[in-house]
Each structure stands twice: as structure tokens, then as C-alpha cells.
Amino acid sequence: MELGDDDQITTEKLLNKEDQETSNSTSTLKKRIWLENKKLWVVAAPAIFTRFTTFGTGIISQAFIGHIGSKELAAFALVFTVFLRFAQGILLGMANGLETLCGQAYGAKQYHMLGIYLQRGWIVSIVASFLLLPVFIFTGPILKALGQDEEIADMAETMALWFIPIVFSFIVSYTCQMYLQAQSKNMIIAYLAAAALSIHVVLSWLLTMKYKFGIIGAMVSTILAFWIPNAGQLLFVTCGGCPQTWTGFSTLAFNDLWPVFKLSVSSGAMLCLEVWYNTVLILLTGNMKNAEVEIDALSICLNISGWELMISLGFMAAASVRIANELGSGNSKAAKFSIATIVTTSMSIGFVLFVIFLLYGGRIAYLFTESRDVVSTVAHLSPLLAFSILLNSIQPVLSGVAIGSGWQSTVAYVNLGSYYLIGVPIGIVLGYVFIMQVEGVWIGMLIGVFVQTIVLIIITCRTDWDKQVSIAQKRVNRWFVKVEHDSNSTNE
């Protein structure tokens, strides 16, 4: 049956209309992806840069102390990598609870609550910092009990006292970062971090190399490097940089602290279980045959992985801010779209790095060592390094989604099960029973990260995001405080 002229014209119009709708739909999707990426990079780019500079501060201090003496370097490395990172993990993790609250309140346009949450975060972090002090006061006895050399332990005990001001710097640093990130105002953090790093390099050279102040000079420079950004952030927050969200100091910060404390503890547990995972890997490797080469190779791999992880942590910050903002504003579809965009972007970068380290891992090792044995071991481990980098491009983003949604306690249990009940036991069996050495331990660790990633993907995919919006709004209303601009703040 042939179509008449009118039918043919109608059919052509319908086809043209379908083509136009498809074109409009594609154009709308591209526009949404472009807009989401703009919002993503506003948070991610400064966060990545800030983490690179903070990571670099410790590397610079270690480099200058290495020129003072080998025992001084060993003492600094012990305190920095074990004790300071222990404290850092707890305080950063606790600050992530603030990230949930600030992000969701900002999305709900309860701007004045951010300043109150910030002050509550300071109170909780101050209490946690004082509880951590005995670790640094009794560093020497702790290290001796762990079997460390007495001379190095005594030196580490003296050096640990210099780290106490650095521990207290984390109170301001991490809380202000979460507060500013929630508002996408973290470029100021990047500028301050860059300035502090530059001053640290110059001051370290002057005090250690030129004027020969030794450990005192190196530690004074390190303390200033951590506190200079804090001074800048406090001035920015309290002197007009955040007029909507900072309404001054308030006694309301002391109200209803227990729920904030519980969320902060859950966040701390979640992050610490991740931070300590690599420490377990090093401790397990230290007891192996030919441990010196194994540890040198592993430290190079973990150093490379650590630098790459700074990128992933930047995306983690972006994910937590974007999800918290969208949940707070009541937009579940936008939250889901943000997750898809951030995971895709981070995974694309991770895949490029995966290919590079899979193909050239051994050659890159020459940047860190001249030992052929170490380079050979790194080349042998490079496939594991490449897969670690690939998983690191996904897992932190999903952790960021959890922080933005307020699931910290759930993820803490996931981390405990996947890392310490699956990853570590498998690593011990492969490394020691099957005599696969460091490779076996690392495979076990990778299995743990893989299990964690799969579980987080399942949780994220099966989540009812409309329900999460409702939970976020209840959380915002639960801690909502009405501010009367013409009088003192009062509870609603």
C-alpha cells in the first residue's frame, strides 16, 4: 500500500520532530555534563593542589632533616609517618563529619548554620587533640616497647614534642577546609597552601643549611608551614570572606554537641581504617626475607601511589560537597547525576595512569633509586601498583559520596570487614604461607580494596536517593537554629 502525499508529508514531519527531540536531548545532556564538571572542578582542582602542597611539606622537611643526620632522619620519619599520621587520620576523619553537616546545610540554604557547625567542629577537634597528647609525650617509651633502637627512640621522643603544635594546627586546618569547601570557596585554601610551601622551602634552607640551627630550625619552619595557612583561613572566614555563613562567635556552638560528636567519631573511624591500611602493609613487609630491598621497592610504590591518591582525595572532596549540597537542596536526581559524572571523570584519569604505570613502572623507579635490585622489584610490582591506582580512582569518590550522605558509620564497618577481615588475612597467607613475599601481601590488600569498592558500588546503586533527601532535610532541621539579625541567636 503506497502512502499518499499528505501521509508522506506527515511521516516526514514526525521523523524530523523525533530527530529534533533526539538532538535537543543530546544537547541538554552535554550541557548538564558541562555544568556539573564546572561545579566539580571548582572544588576538586583547589582540593587536589592543596593536598599536593600539604603532602610536599612533609617531603621537604624530611629532605632537609636528612642533611642533618641519618639518626635524625630516622627519628623524624618514625614520628611523622606513624604518630603524626595517626593523629592526622583521626582529626581529618572527624572533620569529615563537619563536611556532611556544612554541605547539606548550604544546599538547604541554611547559610548561618555553617558558622555554628564550624565552631562545634572546633570544640570536638580540640577535645580529640588533647586526648591524643599522651601519644606524643610518651613517644620514646612507646617506640622502645615496640623494639626500636633506644638512641633513635630517645631522639624521636624529643622531636615528638615539636609535633604537638602541628597536631593542634589540624583543628583549624581541616575544619576550615570543610567549611569553605561546602561553599565552593576553597581557592583561598590553595593560595595559602602555595604561599606556605614557598616560605617553608626558603625558611628551611635558611635555618638548617645557612644558619645551622639543625632540628630546631627544621621543625620551626615545619610548624610555620602548617600554621600560616590557618592564620589566613581564620582571617578570611572571620573578616568578611563569608558574610552569609559567618555571623560571629555564638554560645549556640555548645548546644547539641553529642550528635555532632557521634558523627565525627564515625567519620574518624571510617578514615583511620583506610589510612592505617598501608601502615599494616609496611609492617608485614618488614618481617620478610630480603626486607631492605622489599621495603625500598614498596616505599617507592607507595610514594607514587600516595601522590596519585592526592588526586583521588580531591575528587573525594568534590563528591562529598556536591552530594551534600544536592541532598540538602532536595534534588535527588542531581545527586545521582553528580555521582555518575564524578566517578566517570576520576576513573578516566585513573585509567590513563593505570596504563602508564603498567607499561613504564620499572623505568619510573629510576627517579627514586639507582639500585638495580630495587628497580627490578618495582618493575615486578608495577602491575599491582597500576591496579592500586585504578581502584584508588573509584574507591575514594564512593567514600566521598558516603561522607556527603552521612553514611560514615556504615562505611566504617565496610572498611573494617573488607580490609582487616579479608584483605590482611589473605595477604598474610599469600605472603608467608605461599611465600609470595611482598607481592602476596599486596595482592591481599588489593583484594580488600576491591571488595570494599564493590560493596560501596552496590550500596550506592541500591540507595533510595529520594529517601536520602528526606534524611538530609531532617538532619538539617534537627540542628537548625533560627538567627534574628537584630538580636541574639535563639533556638527555633
Identity of residue 209 = M
Residue 393 grid coordinates: 580512582
R_g (Cα) of the chain, nearest Å = 25
- Quote the distance between the C-alpha of residue 344 and its chain's center: 18
pLDDT at 313 over 90: no
- How far is the C-alpha of 284 from the C-alpha of 438, rounded, in Å? 8
- How far is the C-alpha of 29 from the C-alpha of 45, rounded, in Å? 23
pLDDT score of 468: 92
**C-alpha distance from residue 355 to each of 351, 358, 388, 389, 429 (Å):** 6, 5, 12, 10, 29
Residue 267 grid coordinates: 567519620
Dihedral over alpha carbons 77, 83, 86, 92 (to 10 degrees):
-80
- How far is the C-alpha of 62 from the C-alpha of 76, rounded, in Å? 7
- How far is the C-alpha of 52 from the C-alpha of 46, rounded, in Å? 10
pLDDT at 46 over 80: yes
pLDDT score of 379: 86
- How far is the C-alpha of 362 from the C-alpha of 376, rounded, in Å? 7
Cβ neighbours for 271, distance < 8 A, ≥ 6 positions apart: 89, 92, 93, 96
Contact 143, 152 (CB under 8 A): yes
pLDDT score of 80: 85
Contact 175, 95 (CB under 8 A): yes
Pinpoint the alpha helices (H) of 237-331: 257-285, 291-328
pLDDT-based confidence at 491, cuts 50/70/90? very low
pLDDT-based confidence at 364, cuts 50/70/90? confident
Of the chain, the percentage scoring pLDDT greater than 70 comes to 87
- How far is the C-alpha of 221 from the C-alpha of 59, rounded, in Å? 13
Helix (H, G, I), strand (E, B) or coil at 69: coil
What letters, b where the CB count within 10 A reaches 16 and e where it falls short, cover 118-136? bbbbbbbbeebbeebeebb
Mean pLDDT of the chain: 84
Residue 428 grid coordinates: 598474610
pLDDT at 257 over 50: yes
pLDDT at 469 over 70: yes
Higher per-residue confidence, 103 vs 5:
103
- How far is the C-alpha of 301 from the C-alpha of 379, rounded, in Å? 10
Place of cell 560493596: 455
Cβ neighbours for 473, distance < 8 A, ≥ 6 positions apart: 108, 328, 330
pLDDT score of 186: 86
Cβ neighbours for 181, distance < 8 A, ≥ 6 positions apart: 43, 47, 99, 102, 103, 189, 317, 320, 321
- How far is the C-alpha of 390 from the C-alpha of 37, rounded, in Å? 21
pLDDT mean over 436-448:
86
Sign of CA dihedral 443, 444, 445, 451: positive
Cβ neighbours for 135, distance < 8 A, ≥ 6 positions apart: 83, 86, 87, 142
pLDDT digits (tens, 9 = 90+) for 72-111: 887 887 788 778 888 888 888 888 888 888 999 999 999 9
Cβ neighbours for 146, distance < 8 A, ≥ 6 positions apart: none
pLDDT score of 146: 74
Place of cell 635524625: 72
What letters, b where the CB count within 10 A reaches 16 and e where it falls short, cover 302-314? bebbeebbbbbbb
pLDDT at 69 over 70: yes
Contact 406, 263 (CB under 8 A): yes
Side-chain-side CA neighbours of 403 within 13 Å: the count stands at 34
Pinpoint the alpha helices (H) of 108-236: 112-137, 139-145, 150-162, 164-181, 187-204, 214-236
pLDDT score of 484: 45
Task: Sort 374 into a burial class: Cβ within 10 Å, 0-12 / 13-18 / 19+.
Answer: buried
DSSP label at 68? Answer: T
Contact 268, 281 (CB under 8 A): no
pLDDT digits (tens, 9 = 90+) for 125-158: 999 999 999 999 999 998 888 777 788 888 889 9
